[in-house]
Structure 1
Amino acid sequence: MATVLSVSGSPSATSRTARLLRHLDARLTAQGHDVIPFDVRDLPAEALLGADFGHPAIVEATALFARADGVVIGTPVYKAAYSGLLKSLLDLLPQYALTSKTVLPLATGGTTAHVLAIDYALRPVLSSMGAAHIVQGWFTLDKDITTGPDGGIVIAPAAAEALGEVVDRFSLALTGALTGALTGTELLAPTG
């Protein structure tokens, strides 16, 4: 099927955002996609902060974006916007790094006051980078993402159901983009 780059923009080593993405990666893999997990926090700080476009790690990250058919971008919300770490990477990518790509924006945060961060902060940047289609994103409250007794992720049932629908719509849009089969009505935001 498709190659999906799953990008975590969280600076935290114990990130709910990254754990959520890796959980959703498994769903995309089960649907036949080749998923490449990518944590921006693993890039060298000096390359990001120094805007070193030629640094081997930045060149490699740029190649991952170029290789992908679809991109899932996950970020914690800080001060009503996506993380500065994610911003640092997006600034180093080519202007049209998302051209011909289907993109799913996801965010996590502590309060519903930040639910619009996807649409007002992240979506315009993704659009300016040439994304062919940005599917309806999803905001998940931190309290809905916990660690189970076995160390695995536990997602509150309502949030898990909604995320499943969003990921399935992304998968459908991605598959449709590859085959040219979708007309747009199949890509409406989930109801409810």
Structure 2
Amino acid sequence: MKPLKIVAVSAGLGVPSSTRLLADRLAAATRQQVADEPGRAVEVRVVELRDLATDVAHNMVTGFPSPALAEAIEAVSESDGLIAVTPIFTASYSGLFKSFFDVIDNTALTGKPVLIAATGGTARHSLALEHALRPLFAYLRAVVVPTAVYAASEDWGTGGSGPGGALTERIDRAAGELAALILGRAATAPAAEPADDAFDVVPFAEQLAALRAN
């Protein structure tokens, strides 16, 4: 049984970054809940968009990804579950975050389980998850988990991010929903395509000749 692949995309710009920290927390929680399923191996990867910013810009202008960007796009496209985390700028996702998903084929996320999350300086921007991120991934035909996770600055410094804290509870709940979708999708994976000779296809010319004969 091949390992399930979880990819977290972080659009944080700073080093260190609260956006990357949230991505790591969500990835670890999801990995733990998927790995609790007997016989399931899990691979986790974090894609740092900060390191790909120039490549993304060049791709938007030229239409061709660099090797590093192409590899990141492939990882996201082939993942069994995606965690997408962005800082909130001007009440919406960052330009880098949006640009990255703009250069991905718009069918690559069809049916893919996605957990959306964001960070910001104040809790007032938490609704950006619902009016900006959720519609974006709905347009891409992804399956977005019900619980979105927003972490404001105060969530990291008031004990909310520790065991039993409010942020930790949201992370665990969202991770559980993503894990359930990943495992459910793996369990119902479509069977192999039928062989080419499974169907008897009559060429159009022969069908037309038959009609004329009648």
TM-score between the two structures when normalised by the length of structure 2: 0.74
Higher normalized strand content (fraction of residues): 1
Aligned equivalents of 2:30, 2:95: Cα separation in 1: 27
Aligned to 2:112: 101
Shift of residue 54 of structure 1? Answer: 2.9
Shift of residue 59 of structure 1? Answer: 1.2
Aligned to 2:79: 68
Residue 31 of structure 2 corresponds to residue 20 of structure 1: no
Aligned equivalents of 2:107, 2:13: Cα separation in 1: 25
- Aligned residues of 1:96 and 1:128 also touching (Cα < 8 A): no
Residue range with higher mean Cα deviation, 55-64 or 24-33 = 24-33
Number of residue pairs aligned between Structure 1 and Structure 2 = 174
Shift of residue 117 of structure 1? Answer: 0.6
Q: 1:54 to 1:75 in 2, by over 3 A?
A: closer
- Select 2:185's aligned residue among 166, 177, 185: 177
TM-score between the two structures when normalised by the length of structure 1: 0.82
Question: What is the alpha-carbon root mean square deviation over aligned residues?
Answer: 2.2
- Show CA shifts across 1:92-142 (max 9, x none): 1111121131000001112222111111111111122221x1112121212
- Aligned residues of 1:11 and 1:85 also touching (Cα < 8 A): no
- Select 2:144's aligned residue among 126, 134, 148: 134
Amino acid at match of 2:86: T
Residue 56 of structure 2 corresponds to residue 48 of structure 1: yes
Runs of 5+ unmatched residues, structure 1 = 149-153, 182-192
Q: In structure 2, the residue corresponding to 1:145 is in which secondary structure?
A: helix
Q: In structure 1, the residue corresponding to 2:65 is in which secondary structure?
A: coil
Residue 132 of structure 2 corresponds to residue 121 of structure 1: yes
- Select 1:39's aligned residue among 27, 45, 48: 48
Aligned equivalents of 2:139, 2:72: Cα separation in 1: 19
Shift of residue 44 of structure 1? Answer: 4.7
Residue range with higher mean Cα deviation, 21-30 or 72-81 = 21-30
Residue 90 of structure 2 corresponds to residue 88 of structure 1: no
Aligned equivalents of 2:83, 2:53: Cα separation in 1: 21
Moved over 3 A (4+): none
